[in-house]
Chains A and B, each alone.
Chain A
Amino acid sequence: MSDTASTDTETGVDEKSRRDFLYVSTAAVGAVGSAIAVWPFIDQMNPAADTLALSSTEVNLDAIEVGQSITVVWRGKPVFIRHRTPEEIAAAKKDDTADLIDPETDASRTQKPEWLIMVGVCTHLGCIPLGQKTSEPRGDFGGWFCPCHGSHYDTSGRIRKGPAPKNLHIPTYTFLNDTSVKIG
């Protein structure tokens, strides 16, 4: 051992860094490989192909009178479709300039002002707000009221009071013609 001690010290640094390089690169390849192997086990939890396939709904608007609302199911969630009265549209437009929690104009939330189409899920913790039926409470702003934690939405579905952070979500939708709409 003592004979080779001097050569060891000369080449020692190189040997050591070569070893380190092998260690680090082996560990790196192992870590990347493990991460790739883990991904399918995480991604399997995401929506499956058949769940994604059910992602659009067509609705006939013919039978909805002015001042009436209907609830349709889209992706397992309720979608509120409201045929708004002129007073509701006026109130919504007037409040565009009010002190809003999540500022949005009424025009940006509708394609046709008389049709308000939005996901009927409270943006706080996912309850269904009341206000679709005439017998239900509409909250302080004449729109919808979530009974779970007391969020008040206005006639444009904007959050005005309570713990919810966002306005009721607007899904993507297209009018196929004057009386039917495709959601999703």
Chain B
Amino acid sequence: MSKQFKNPVLNWIEYRLPIFSFIDDSVGSGYPTPKNLNYWWNFGSLAGFVLVIMIASGIVLAMHYTAHVDYAFNSIERIMRDVNYGWLIRYIHMNGGSMFFIVVYIHLLRGMYYGSYKAPRELLWIIGVFILLAMMATAFMGYVLPWGQMSFWGATVITNLFSAIPIVGDSIVTLLWGGFSVDNPTLNRFFSLHYLMPFVIVGLVVVHLWALHEHKSNNPLGVDIKGEQDLIPFHPYFTSKDLYGMAVFMMFFMFFVFFAPNFFGEPDNYIPANPLATPPHIVPEWYFLPYYAILRAFTKDFFLYWPVAWLITAKLAGVIAMFSSILLLLLLPWLDGSKVRSSKFRPYYAMAFWVFVIDCLVLGYVGGKPAEGTFIVIGQIATAYYFAHLVIIIPLVSRLERPKPIPESISAAVTAAHAKQAGE
């Protein structure tokens, strides 16, 4: 479906490479979008926007960074003090990581609340989970690069997770390190992979959008698109709405960059890495805290560990639980048996959803506290609830709950709402 332009140059290009119609059909007037999307639908394009910011700032930082244990820390300090606007670009990249996770977690919870993972969007959701995993790997390796105390000990603790694998665990850890501890070979490969991964994410995002465009966006009512009357073109309606969202988001982002640049960071990472002294309290970045809490919940006296105690160590159980906490999300389209997508018509599911959100926040809080006393017990209860929500509560509630009547179509619901307003 090639477009016709008045400009002969554009026509010449379009005839040979239909790039203008491709853009128009992807994010222009040729892409029809449900007309009732609310502001929670801004977070997908925001995530893409942050990805671009991260790649741009990261490429620039790599021009000044030295991936060597003797120079890495000082090269970062040089960026902060000597490189023109280095402080700005580094603070954008540092806080951009946190922003990326804020935006993506909201995007993910939006999908959970409105049932965007349900047929026919299962693969769209699964690709999204893979994007989250790729982001985590990228963020983890990026945090190691400044070679501060938290960089070094975070890398040590996380790579040591693989030593929990029976028999081959220690060989795998040696392979990851390229030596017998986290050292120069480790730093070099982390830099290489940290530069690679964002482009893997870009590739996954392309596939994510491809799947999205096949069946179009879900919408707050969760009902299927019935016809033209349910749709409006992406441009100018959602381009303008997304741009407005970006402006608001940039104010939030830039507040941290300019006024609280180290708010999300750990002061210990401004101490150069010392392989012979562990900081008294190792914590990962905030976006990993819930998973860290799940990892630490598995001790010998945790009841979820008892059924497998004869087979594996508590350490391995914790590692498996931590990875499963994300991998279980891949099964969400099938764990949820309800035919109705949106939580608007599923009051009990909606309640369970909000308890789950609170549970994740509790896990995040506990993950940042030392593993002692009541924090262990709270972490264990919250961990048990996390898994109970996914494998017990969702399957049962979705199959037992009788949903409220759903509107016939998007446009019928909108017309009804207008009629009601006019009546009042």
Q: Which residues of A contact B178 (CB under 8 A)?
A: 45-48, 51
- Report the separation of the CA atoms of residues A42 and B181 in the bound assembly, to the nearest whole angstrom: 18
Structural contact, A51 and B315, CB atoms closer than 8 A: no
CB <8 Å contact, A78 and B161: no
> CA–CA, A74 to B417, complex, Å?
73
Residue B277, interface by CB 8 Å: yes
Q: Measured between alpha carbons, how far is A163 from B301 in the docked complex, in Å?
A: 10
Which A residue's beta carbon lies closest to that of B173? A126
- The interface bits of chain A over 90-119 (1 if a CB of B lies within 8 angstroms of the residue's CB, else 0) are 000000000000000000000000000000
Given B160, B176, B181, which contacts A125 in the complex, CB threshold below 8 Å? B160
Cβ of A71 < 8 Å from any Cβ of B? yes
Instruction: Say yes or no: B278 contacts A127, CB within 8 Å.
Output: yes
CB proximity to B under 8 Å, residues A38-77: 42, 45-48, 51, 55, 71, 73, 75-77
Q: With contacts A45-B175, A78-B276 known, is A150 near B181, CB below 8 A?
A: no
User: Which of B156, B183, B315 touches A163 (beta carbons < 8 Å)?
Assistant: B315
Interface string of B204-239 (1 = CB under 8 A from A): 000000000000000000000000000000000000
Is the pair A128, B278 in contact by a Cβ cutoff of 8 Å? yes
Contact A126 B179 (CB under 8 A): no
A142 to B278, CA, bound (A): 20
Provide the bound-state CA to CA distance between A71 and B278, in Å: 14
Q: Which residues of A from 115 to 174 have beta carbons under 8 Å from B? A: 124-128, 147-150, 163-165
Instruction: Report A131 CB to chain B, min CB distance, Å.
Output: 12
Q: State the interface size on chain A (CB cutoff 8 A).
A: 25
**Which residues of the other chain, B, contact A73 by a CB distance below 8 angstroms?**
275-276
Q: Indicate if the CB atoms of B371 and A147 lie closer than 8 Å.
A: no
B83 at interface, CB cutoff 8 A: no
User: Is the CB–CB distance between B156 and A126 below 8 Å?
Assistant: yes
Query: Smallest CB-CB separation from A147: which chain B residue?
Result: B280
Contacts of B153 in A (CB 8 A): 127
Residues of B within 8 A of A75 (CB): 179-181
> Judging by beta carbons under 8 Å apart, are A149 and B371 in contact?
yes
Contact A150 B372 (CB under 8 A): yes
Give the nearest-CB partner of B170 in chain A.
A169
Q: Which residue of B lies closest to A76 (CB)?
A: B181
Smallest distance from the beta carbon of A128 to chain B beta carbons, Å? Answer: 4
Is B314 on the interface with A (CB-CB < 8 A)? yes
- Is there an interface contact between B313 and A149, defined as CB atoms closer than 8 Å? no
Contact for A149 among B163, B181, B189, B296, CB less than 8 A: B296
Q: B282 contacts the other chain (Cβ, under 8 Å)? A: yes
Interface residues as binary, B159-180 with A (CB distance below 8 Å gives 1, 0 otherwise): 1110100000000001111111
- Decide yes or no whether B6 CB sits under 8 A from chain A: no
Tell me which of B159, B189, B276, B313 contacts A128 (CB under 8 A): B276
Query: Which A residues are CB-close (under 8 A) to B189?
Result: 45
Say how far A100's CB is from chain B's closest CB, in angstroms: 14
Does the CB pair B181–A127 fall under 8 Å?
no
Residue among A71, A76, A125 making CB contact with B180, cutoff 8 Å = A76
Q: Are B179 and A127 in contact (CB under 8 A)?
A: no
How many angstroms from the CA of A164 to the CA of B189 in the assembled complex?
28
B185 within 8 Å of A by Cβ? Answer: yes
Query: Is there a chain A Cβ closer than 8 Å to B420's Cβ?
Result: no
Bound Cα distance from A46 to B153, whole angstroms: 21
**Contact among B156, B176, B280 with A45 in the assembled complex (CB-CB below 8 Å):** B176
Q: Are A124 and B276 in contact (CB under 8 A)?
A: no
Q: Which residues of A contact B160 (CB under 8 A)?
A: 124-126
- Cβ A71 vs Cβ B276 within 8 A: yes
Cβ of B16 within 8 Å of any chain A Cβ, yes or no, is no
Chain B nearest CB from A56 CB (Å) reads 12
Task: Name B174's contact: one of A46, A78, A164 (CB within 8 Å).
Answer: A46
Residue numbers in A under 8 Å from B179 (CB-CB): 47, 51, 75-76
B299: nearest chain-A partner, CB-CB: A163
On whether the beta carbons of A48 and B185 are closer than 8 Å, the reply is: yes
Chain B residues with CB under 8 Å of A46's CB are 174-175, 178
Inter-chain CA distance A46–B172, complex, in Å, is 9
With a CB–CB cut-off of 8 A, which chain A residues contact B280?
A: 147
Q: Which of A77, A147, A163 contacts B281 (CB 8 A)?
A: A147
Residue pair A125, B314 in contact (C-beta under 8 Å): no
Complex interface residues of chain B between 297 and 327 (CB less than 8 A to chain A): 298-300, 313-315, 318
B-side contacts of A45, CB under 8 Å: 175-176, 178, 189
CB distance from B21 to the nearest CB of A (A): 40
Shortest distance between the CB of A77 and any CB in chain B (Å)? 5
At the interface, yes or no: B157 with Cβ under 8 Å from chain A? Answer: yes
Quote the shortest CB–CB distance from A50 to chain B (angstroms): 10
Known: A45-B189, A76-B275, A78-B275. 9 other contacts (CB 8 A): A47-B180, A51-B185, A73-B276, A75-B180, A125-B157, A126-B157, A126-B159, A128-B276, A147-B281
Tell me the A residues contacting B by CB distance below 8 Å.
Answer: 42, 45-48, 51, 55, 71, 73, 75-78, 124-128, 147-150, 163-165
Please provide the 9 A-B residue pairs with the shortest distance between their CB atoms, ordered closest to farther. A75-B180, A76-B181, A126-B160, A127-B278, A125-B157, A165-B313, A126-B156, A125-B160, A128-B278
